[in-house]
C-alpha cells in the first residue's frame, strides 16, 4: 500500500465529504456514486492498516482475522 493509515483515513474523509457535496450541489447520483466507490476503497484500505503485520514474525500473522 502506498499510504500510511492516517493518510488513507484522511483521503476517505475527503472522499465522503466530496460525495456529499456533489450530491447536494448538483444532484448527480452517478457522479456521487463514483466518488463514493473510491471512498469505500480508501476506507477499506484505512481499516486494513489495523490488521496488517509488520513482518512475518509478528503475532498478527498467526491471528485468524489476518
Q: Compute the CA torsion angle 39, 14, 28, 33 (nearest 10 deg).
A: 0
> Structural domain of residue 22, as residue ranges?
5-62
pLDDT of residue 51: 76
pLDDT of residue 64: 77
The Cα-based distances of 3 to 9, 10, 23, 49, 65 in angstroms read 10, 10, 27, 10, 22
Domain count for the chain: 1
Q: How confident is the model at residue 52 (pLDDT cuts 50, 70, 90)?
A: confident
How does pLDDT run across 5-48, given as a tens digit for each residue?
Answer: 889 999 999 999 999 999 999 999 999 999 999 999 999 988 88
Amino acid at each position: 500500500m502506498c499510504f500510511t493509515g492516517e493518510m488513507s483515513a484522511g483521503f476517505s474523509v475527503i472522499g465522503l465529504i466530496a460525495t456529499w457535496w456533489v450530491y447536494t450541489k448538483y444532484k448527480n447520483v452517478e457522479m456521487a456514486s463514483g466518488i463514493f466507490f473510491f471512498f469505500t476503497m480508501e476506507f477499506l484500505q484505512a481499516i486494513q492498516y489495523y490488521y496488517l503485520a509488520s513482518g512475518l514474525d509478528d503475532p498478527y500473522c498467526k491471528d485468524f482475522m489476518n
